[in-house]
Amino acid sequence: MTNVRSMTAGSTTAPLSPLTTPHPNRHRLRAVSPDEVPPVAELLNSGATWLPAPQHSLPALPGQPPMVGYLVLVPADQATTATAPPPAAQPEAPAPTGDAIVRIDPEQRTAQVLGRPLDLTYLEFELLAHLVAHPHRVHTRDQLVTTVWGYGHVGDGRTVDVHVARLRRKLGVEHRSSIVTVRRVGYKYVPSA
């Protein structure tokens, strides 16, 4: 393979000018000609390897010459956190949602009915959490499949019907009516009074 480069501890190149010195937390893109060697040595750890990216993985613009890209391989034992962006501020943990009967704790991924924990599968929890987070709102089966299962799910509304039936069974006889069927449309959550 051509143009494979390895950086050793002793490899040096001319330093970048102050105008082109990248911010430590920002990557810079620059067009290079296919035969030009980009000045990447300053950005790589010693021992890193870079090689041309496969042409099929690069975008092609109509009427423009093909793009050239490089893959950078850094050994795991030499990866440094100095070039990594600073950790983002920790967002506050989401507060438990629900009503006096059904409580959903998204942080611990638990659901309770009157203090009794429910043993839910991943999708049952996601479905119940979504319905409880939007009380009185009617959700079509397609909306629920898209929101809870995701865009890549191949299935139909019967999948939702089966999961709702399981949720109702786990909520118990007293609270199964909180998930209301809206005929020919979908479902909604109605908190108990």
What are the pLDDT digits (tens) for 148-188?
Answer: 888 666 767 788 999 999 999 999 999 999 999 999 899 99
pLDDT at 18: 46
Residue 9 has φ and ψ, to the nearest 5°, of -60, -30
Q: How confident is the model at residue 37 (pLDDT cuts 50, 70, 90)?
A: low
This prediction's pTM: 0.51
What are the pLDDT digits (tens) for 95-135?
Answer: 667 777 899 998 899 999 988 999 999 999 999 999 999 99
Could you give the count of Cα atoms lying within 13 Å of 72 in the half-sphere of its Cβ? 14
**Residue 105 CB burial class (10 angstroms; 0-12, 13-18, ≥19):** middle
